[in-house]
Structure 1
């Protein structure tokens, strides 16, 4: 059976609206942490100008491949192995990066490494979009995110919702200029960045 995430089902339309505009001039996107594969299955046929390269750790490949097998979108590519801690990262040609709901399930060190590697992978003018919950000035955006953050940290003290300002500043320090923050349903956000030359 294909894995299924209700959250993916709920958030895919509003994310698509942002990506269709922000990635309109892009050709190939690497999705970091494709998870169930649902986002790729939904986005690829609706963004036919983009080649959508999925990636994740090997334990998630079977689920992504199940969605891939049912898709008729030729631009939805089977997953490659990618762990943010691997060195080096696989050689991937891309001019865009997308990652959803990953920063808060990693340690901060792993999240910073993902941003640094993403910056190194993108060419000048390349674009990155990060989706998920974020705190602002150290405070949650709502009661739901406050509870979610507490649950994450109780399960793994190294995980947790990251501060927008820290993510923005770390990305900018590695050549990814902050472009825009877009409010999404359920107190989530998309943060967008452009690789400087």
Structure 2
């Protein structure tokens, strides 16, 4: 019997339903949805199961172990609207995909150098059409301040202690980066555990 490559992320199990409660109202009825930094693959399985077959999901991750987990989840669930995982580095000047109708990224930009956020936003701008969706989820600072003591402790004791280039990002700085790349101002949704969803649309 071959080893099961599926990984399990407790955070994904906790946040996938709250994310879906917001995301489902912004996804297109059909087209291609790219998830950047898909990790274990549990998010994309959850969302694809709840979407019409005409909405196709493209997971991706730079880590081969994560891609193995994603593909193992796809095989186990037998979902027809999920493609095999792509090797995609958000900071790369070109991506192995030329078009998507929506780009999703959950809990990545704070567990990576700032260049990853810039690359994510720039890459999404390159492949999305006018009106295309860029959907981000995670903790953010607002006006330079953490929104909760738990976020401040997470930023200091987990993120910056592991890598000084990591850190909870300022919402206003992320929004300015997105604006410079051609996105409109974000719709902001408050989420459980002091997280936010940011909903951007590509401008004409």
* Length-normalised TM-score, structure 1: 0.95
Match of 1:15 among 14, 19, 23: 19
Match of 1:167 among 171, 174, 182: 174
**Structure 1 residue 89 displacement after superposition:** 1.1
- Could you tell me how far apart the structure 1 residues matched to 2:186 and 2:194 are? 19
What is the aligned residue count? 197
Confirm or deny: 8 A CA contact 2:30 2:56 kept in the other structure.
no
* Length-normalised TM-score, structure 2: 0.92
Confirm or deny: 8 A CA contact 2:94 2:123 kept in the other structure.
no
- Could you tell me how far apart the structure 2 residues matched to 1:154 and 1:96 are? 33
**Which aligned runs of 4 or more in structure 1 are off by greater than 4 angstroms?**
none
- Could you tell me how far apart the structure 2 residues matched to 1:87 and 1:41 are? 28
Residue of structure 2 equivalent to 1:3: 7
**Structure 1 residue 56 displacement after superposition:** 0.6
Residues 1:52 and 2:57 aligned together: yes
- Could you tell me how far apart the structure 2 residues matched to 1:195 and 1:62 are? 31
Residue ranges of structure 1 left out of the alignment (5+ in a row): none
Structure 1, residues 1-51: CA drift from partner, whole Å, max 9, x if none?
Answer: 421111100111111111110114452110000000000111101012421
Equivalences for residues 144-163 of structure 1 within 5 A: 144-150=150-156, 151-163=158-170
Residue of structure 1 equivalent to 2:195: 188
After the TM superposition, which of the residue ranges 171-180 and 37-46 deviates more from structure 2?
171-180
Confirm or deny: 8 A CA contact 1:181 1:191 kept in the other structure.
yes
Residue of structure 2 equivalent to 1:38: 42
Structure 1, residues 86-107: CA drift from partner, whole Å, max 9, x if none?
Answer: 2321133211010000100111
After the TM superposition, which of the residue ranges 18-27 and 36-45 deviates more from structure 2?
18-27
Residue ranges of structure 2 left out of the alignment (5+ in a row): none
Structure 1, residues 88-133: CA drift from partner, whole Å, max 9, x if none?
Answer: 2113321101000010011112211211111111111111100111
